[in-house]
Structure 1
């Protein structure tokens, strides 16, 4: 990879601006979550439509994740990020002028395309700007994601609780920040030194035989965690409010913030420990806490409900963060695009499918009736990841994990 000349290197503020953009992307994804109950009340639609609106975001985000990285390798990070921010702004505009649930689906599609591109290309641009801080960038990215979600959820829910233009002001505030970042992107120097030299090619999702056991373990654990996250972002705020007998959307925002902030803390605290151990602990803890959560919600006590979801958020952070780290440490360098494409395809499938099924169940029966069923199934999925790792763990020792030299394999084993 060629180096940039001093006069073409990214400006000193580029790193902070890209982190802010990553935070903005996740904040944009979280703004509608505390408002879904208000939209449903305003337009009188069933819970299943709420999950369809949420799932539309996840479905198109997969497309953006698959293609945006290759596009940015070929045409540069800046152009792709500029288009991504414009898509975010377009989605926010549709939210502001929405006249029915169909507009919410369109808005989420536009935002999903933009956010998917921001996640992939923004993360790659951070490495371009400061490759020597790769490990730190991963930690800061996780913090930016979760803090962005928590701030957006709490701020939006607070406005919704007061009734002061809750379906307008959160989107306008988000759009203002997006416009500032758009200006910064327009004046930012291109951070990718090989832009224009890389042939355009979309990685085909596939998993090399030598890491399939590791991949299965990682994707089951991460999929279970994302299934829990999908329900948390769509129906769980209203389910928690009903269970705790709390009126208004603010409680739902607190639920989302508790999950994401505890997940961020758990990921930071566990970064020094072996990824496999973290993933196994997270999967086991999430299974136990999903079952315990049924009892926690049944108490009808608001404090117990918040503590329950906070603990679930911590376990989610361990399960997803450990699973992803366990997988990425051992992917052959030349297969990273293909493996991560497959990983995110399955992870987003796990995000979307259970959420839709819970929405259907909540429409046919009720949200409080279907939530315990979902909790049990999510717990079983988490435990299945633990079983898979126990069964395949010994076999993995006989596989050639990477093509790296023996010294590098030894080094990777130390962190995993």
Structure 2
């Protein structure tokens, strides 16, 4: 359906220029509704504001035709400005949602002592959101095709707001679980929709750039959340409430921005909801990439939940800020790893990432044996440097190899594997800790994840040696 569009044309002020501009519209079978001229200090330049009704495909043809005129200096569309604002509004909404997700990380030690929570309960509170994320991604990614992504994103930001309110007034385990469930709904809505929406709003419709920015925002939000919470808890009144008050204020601009988002999309029809399917031709590569994401987020979940909670027991150091910095450090170094190791060719990127991950797991075991904060910090650095390229590279790779008609299903399924990795390994750790003790459970966790990491690396070697991804490198993921 044609939509009202306004463009601004800057052209040389010569006789006949308006006639040639009009011919460009006539050649695309489009009528100009109104033309007005703006003032210009340079009398050799004419500034025109042109309003008309047009469909997207015809608009592209008009802009191309105008760009071919030698008198035209610049063409700017009102829709392009709105599109850019919408792109960054969705990006900010994703960031602030993920930011709230780990605000509680430095506070788990308080919750543990205040309400006498066991290691299994602490892990359950942390992982509860991931158990909700998995069906949410599958459901809302498909629902957005029917009602549009903006409504889903608005519901997601409302769930973010509600989750922080529940943390603000938490008075026990049940309220903590409700808060995490609401956060899981929010993350599921955004992860199921935001990447596709950002791809559509990107000025070049670049799948790789949209996916890479989304991965960077997820990493940055996860990293900054514990730092912000640790600072506010350490240096302001109400340590368990102030972080969530500040987060509520940060959510307000996201609500306003998402209310202004406009995405032109065609309805996907009335097909029934279904479990995501991966095209047969890319399944081997897809499962290897998904296993990689599963592993790195499983390891990071340990550093975001258990390590900050028991920091005082293992290395005899306490403090909200220290807990927040250690929880955030693994994802801060992940962002650094994305910028550095992410520029390597794919096989070298995966080799470096898996090497860092394995060394980091070994460092964690040594840190617990020797009660060393320095070794623990080195472990955090190595795990973070491994997580960055492994996660971002896997997501960008999946987004690139997925056929356009199956991209939504493929990316949703990738995120499903990712959040199973967030929840299941640490839940297993919590159960094992009751039988063998927490330190022995962590040693077993590190050994098992190390074996799976070796299998994942061999999978990447098989993909690359088989020629499936010869044209895709880490540089592509960083673009």
Pair 1:335-2:388 in alignment: no
C-alpha separation between the residues in 2 aligned to 1:304 and 1:103?
36
- Please point out which of 201, 205, 208 is paired with 2:279: 208
- Please point out which of 291, 298, 308 is paired with 1:220: 291
C-alpha separation between the residues in 1 aligned to 2:401 and 2:268?
28
Deviation readout 1:113-153 (Å, 9 max, x if unpaired): 01221233222222222241634433333332222222220
Partner in structure 1 of residue 257 of structure 2: 184
C-alpha separation between the residues in 2 aligned to 1:295 and 1:310?
14
CA change 1:190–1:198 in 2 (3 A) is farther
Which ranges in structure 1 are unaligned for 5 or more consecutive residues? 402-408
CA change 1:365–1:159 in 2 (3 A) is farther
Question: What SS class does the counterpart of residue 329 from structure 1 fall into?
Answer: helix
CA change 1:181–1:391 in 2 (3 A) is closer
C-alpha separation between the residues in 2 aligned to 1:114 and 1:67?
13
Decide whether the 8 Å contact of 1:240 with 1:305 is kept in 2. Answer: no
Decide whether the 8 Å contact of 2:215 with 2:395 is kept in 1. Answer: no
Decide whether the 8 Å contact of 2:211 with 2:396 is kept in 1. Answer: no
C-alpha separation between the residues in 2 aligned to 1:354 and 1:14?
37
Partner in structure 1 of residue 246 of structure 2: 173
Partner in structure 2 of residue 324 of structure 1: 395
C-alpha separation between the residues in 1 aligned to 2:222 and 2:362?
25
Partner in structure 2 of residue 353 of structure 1: 424
Report deviation, 1:368.
2.8
Partner in structure 2 of residue 262 of structure 1: 333
TM-score, structure 2 as length reference:
0.77
Question: What SS class does the counterpart of residue 83 from structure 1 fall into?
Answer: helix
Q: After the TM superposition, which of the residue ranges 79-88 and 337-346 deviates more from structure 2?
A: 337-346
Pair 1:113-2:188 in alignment: no
Question: What SS class does the counterpart of residue 235 from structure 1 fall into?
Answer: helix
CA change 1:251–1:209 in 2 (3 A) is same
CA change 1:138–1:172 in 2 (3 A) is same
Partner in structure 2 of residue 232 of structure 1: 303
RMSD: 2.7
C-alpha separation between the residues in 2 aligned to 1:344 and 1:307?
28
Structure whose residues are more often strand by fraction: 2
Deviation readout 1:36-76 (Å, 9 max, x if unpaired): 11111111121101111122100111122112222223222
Q: After the TM superposition, which of the residue ranges 201-210 and 46-55 deviates more from structure 2?
A: 201-210
Aligned counterparts, 1:78-89, within 5 A: 78-89=150-161
Partner in structure 2 of residue 404 of structure 1: none
Aligned counterparts, 1:288-303, within 5 A: 288-303=359-374
Partner in structure 1 of residue 233 of structure 2: 160
Pair 1:18-2:90 in alignment: yes
Report deviation, 1:319.
2.1
Question: What SS class does the counterpart of residue 240 from structure 2 fall into?
Answer: coil
Question: What SS class does the counterpart of residue 284 from structure 2 fall into?
Answer: helix
Partner in structure 2 of residue 39 of structure 1: 111
C-alpha separation between the residues in 2 aligned to 1:208 and 1:129?
25
Aligned counterparts, 1:399-410, within 5 A: none
CA change 1:349–1:410 in 2 (3 A) is closer
Report deviation, 1:205.
2.5
Pair 1:283-2:354 in alignment: yes
The number of equivalent residue pairs is: 403
C-alpha separation between the residues in 2 aligned to 1:242 and 1:274?
42
C-alpha separation between the residues in 2 aligned to 1:189 and 1:300?
51
Report deviation, 1:177.
1.4
Partner in structure 2 of residue 305 of structure 1: 376
Partner in structure 2 of residue 143 of structure 1: 216
Pair 1:3-2:56 in alignment: yes
Bigger relative contact order, structure 1 or 2 (CA pairs below 8 A, ≥6 apart) = 1
Question: What SS class does the counterpart of residue 247 from structure 1 fall into?
Answer: coil
Pair 1:97-2:169 in alignment: yes
C-alpha separation between the residues in 1 aligned to 2:470 and 2:417?
30
C-alpha separation between the residues in 2 aligned to 1:232 and 1:124?
30
Report deviation, 1:241.
4.1
Report deviation, 1:224.
1.1
C-alpha separation between the residues in 1 aligned to 2:255 and 2:112?
32
Partner in structure 1 of residue 39 of structure 2: none
Report deviation, 1:31.
0.7
Which ranges in structure 2 are unaligned for 5 or more consecutive residues? 2-54, 60-76
Displaced runs of 4+ in structure 1, greater than 6 A? none
Deviation readout 1:219-274 (Å, 9 max, x if unpaired): 22221111102212221212444322102232221112211111111112234333
Partner in structure 1 of residue 43 of structure 2: none
Structure whose residues are more often helix by fraction: 1
TM-score, structure 1 as length reference:
0.87
C-alpha separation between the residues in 2 aligned to 1:330 and 1:260?
26
Report deviation, 1:316.
1.3
Report deviation, 1:376.
1.4
Question: What SS class does the counterpart of residue 362 from structure 1 fall into?
Answer: helix
Report deviation, 1:359.
1.4
CA change 1:334–1:298 in 2 (3 A) is same
Deviation readout 1:68-101 (Å, 9 max, x if unpaired): 2222232222211111111111111111222210
Pair 1:129-2:195 in alignment: no
